[in-house]
Structure 1
Amino acid sequence: MSTLINFRDAAAAADPGAVHARPGVLFRSAQPYDGPSAAPQKTLAENGITTVIDLRGPDECLDGDWGRPEPGVEIVRTPLDTGFEISQRWAGELRDAADLGAFYLDMAQSSPQALAVAVRAAARPGGVLIHCAAGKDRTGLMTALLLSLLGVPDQGVVEDYTRTAEALPAIFARLAERPHAQALNTETMDIPEVILQAPAGAIAEFLRLVAERFGDAEGFLTHCGVEPETLQAFRAKAEAGRG
């Protein structure tokens, strides 16, 4: 069993028949909590993961979060940060799942370079793991875009996203224990209730807005500066029946 909370093969969860996406290529999780322990590295090795995409901001990270990665494993840090301006724009506005989905798009649009770096890393050979802190919001939107790029239907993307709800109690408990300024106390902090959930409507609204404004995930990622050859490379390794 993995020591990473909220860890799963996103392609297998969203597309269990491997109709669109190859299993064993695209994984997701919350951040590691084992410090210098070799346990997270064992999970990477067992699943053929050679690239870890860390979407957290610098103030969320602790020294030794990934211990000492094994040779052949690279940690790519590309912060997809909510930022002060975005937080201010959305203060008091996150009331329901649709608001959360719109927030995801705002966050993604505000970090186009970070998204482009993440996609380039995901296109590298070998398995890739995407994570942020909880493995829900930033990880959710990034995973949704990549799954959509492979042709996974929206319903499958939604089913993968909502599986995070099962892990949220454990995630929040561990976040509250972080010896860090970004430790999360869901009982004392003023956090919109929807942020503490993984509602299907959030990622469904995100996908709807992407399609409405950019045509599809490819259109949005191209808008963010991802090169056609990068998109082709990711599909070549991650589409079912290829690679």
Structure 2
Amino acid sequence: MSLVNFRDPAVLTDPDGLRIRPGALYRSAQPFPAADEAVVEQLRTAGIRTIVDLRGAAECETADWAAAEAAGLTVVAARVEPTNGALDAAMRDMTTAADLGAFYLLMAESAPASLAAAVEAAARPGGVLLHCAAGKDRTGLLTALLLDLLDVPAERIVADYARTAEALPQIFAGLARRHRAALNDGREFHVPAPLLEAPAEAMAVFLDLVRTRHGGSAAFLAACGVAPATLDAFRAKAAAEAVAC
């Protein structure tokens, strides 16, 4: 089965080829149920050498990327845990798309070391795939930060994020099958409505907060521990004028 919500953000965010080199950066949901030969072929065809897994430890299974690793691809675990005390409180209070955007900033601020590891992996030669569970929230915020580093206009970053809405029915079906036991254990799960969508306003708010509170993505990632040389390496690799690696 092919990866769900799989795409190269350059296609939508940079149709004129002025800012991003196609094939440098990809995004997707996690494999459902696990990577198989079809997924490995999909990755190879795209030129992907590195997979950045943003999921928390409890969300992962050993078999998820076993076939890809056996095929020689590198999997980097950059754990952005989906919950902690502050995130749980923010989730309970979430009612609007703007709240979701603020939640994204809080999630990013809660995992500086993981974001730094993810950016370092994204700067490696060859195509890089970013993914979390749905390929929407953690993947969305990291993709947005990287696209902002390449000076992609905010409205195009927002459009790429919102495109995930097309894949949400398939994503939720895959997650339901994977977590059926947890969903049937008698506990009640309340997921705020904005988290079940990909509202454009959420990403617009996130980007604005990164700019107003942290001075932009470069300054924010530097504060997370990303070295200037790593930021330069990612730009050199992924910028439109970069030579294919």
TM range (shorter): over 0.9
RMSD of aligned C-alpha atoms?
1.8
Q: Which moved more, 1:28-37 or 1:82-91?
A: 82-91
Q: Shift in Å at residue 82 of structure 1?
A: 2.6
Quick one: which amino acid aligns to residue 56 of structure 2?
G
Structure 2 residue 60 is the aligned partner of structure 1 residue 78: no
Report the counterpart of residue 25 of structure 2 in structure 1.
26
| TM-score of the aligned structures, taking structure 1 as reference length | 0.94
CA distance in 1, matches of 2:183, 2:40: 24
Residue 49 of structure 2 aligns to a residue whose secondary structure is strand
Structure 2 residue runs without a partner (length 5+): none
Q: Which moved more, 1:82-91 or 1:43-52?
A: 82-91
Give the match for residue 132 of structure 1. Answer: 132
Say whether the 8 Å CA contact 2:40–2:71 is kept in structure 1.
no
Task: Give the Cα–Cα distance (whole angstroms) in 1 for the partners of residues 182 and 39 of structure 2.
Answer: 21
Superposition pairs of residues 86-105 of structure 1, within 5 angstroms: 86-105=86-105
Equivalent residue, structure 2, for 1:53: 52
Match of 1:172 in 2: 172
Q: Secondary structure at the match of 1:222?
A: helix
Q: Which amino acid in structure 1 is aligned with residue 73 of structure 2?
A: V
Q: Do the aligned residues in 2 keep the contact of 1:123 with 1:230 (CA within 8 Å)?
A: yes
Q: CA deviation at 1:183?
A: 5.8
Please show how residues 1-243 of structure 1 align to structure 2 within 5 Å. Answer: 3-35=2-34, 37-69=36-68, 70-179=70-179, 189-243=189-243
Give how far 1:83 is off: 2.5
CA distance in 1, matches of 2:184, 2:105: 23
Contact between 2:99 and 2:202, CA under 8 Å: does it hold in 1? Answer: yes
**Deviation for aligned residue 1:13:** 2.1
- Give the whole-Å Cα distance in 2 for the aligned partners of 1:104 and 1:7: 21
* 5+ long unaligned stretches in structure 1: none
> Which whole-Å CA distance do the structure 2 matches of 1:85 and 1:120 have between them?
28
Q: TM-score, normalising length from structure 2?
A: 0.93
Return the structure number with greater helix share. Answer: 2
Q: Secondary structure at the match of 2:84?
A: helix
Distance in 1 (alpha carbons) for counterparts of 2:198 and 2:60:
23
Q: Show structure 1 runs of 4+ deviating over 4 A.
A: 179-185
* Residue identity opposite 1:225 in structure 2: G
Find the residue that maps to 1:75 and give its secondary structure: strand
CA apart distance, 1:84: 2.4
**28-37 vs 62-71, which moves further:** 62-71
Rounded to whole Å, the distance in 1 between the matches of 2:118 and 2:91 is 27
Cα contact 1:177–1:183 (8 A) shared by 2: no
The 8 Å contact of residues 175 and 184 in structure 1, kept in 2 or not, is answered as no
- Looking at structure 2, the residues matched to 200 and 183 of structure 1 have their Cα atoms a distance apart, in angstroms, of 28
How far off is 1:12 after superposition? 1.8
Between the two proteins, the alignment pairs up a number of residues equal to 240
Q: Is the 8 A contact 2:5 2:27 kept in 1?
A: yes
The 2-side partners of 1:183 and 1:231 are apart by 41
Deviates more, 1:171-180 or 1:197-206: 171-180
**Matches of 1:37 and 1:151 in 2, distance apart?**
35
User: In 1, distance between residues paired with 2:11 and 2:169?
Assistant: 23
Cα distance in 2, alignment partners of residues 59 and 120 from structure 1: 23
Aligned equivalents of 1:58 and 1:118: distance in 2? 15
What CA deviation, in whole Å up to 9, does each residue of 1:52-108 have, x standing for no partner? 000001111122112322444100011111332133321421111110000000000
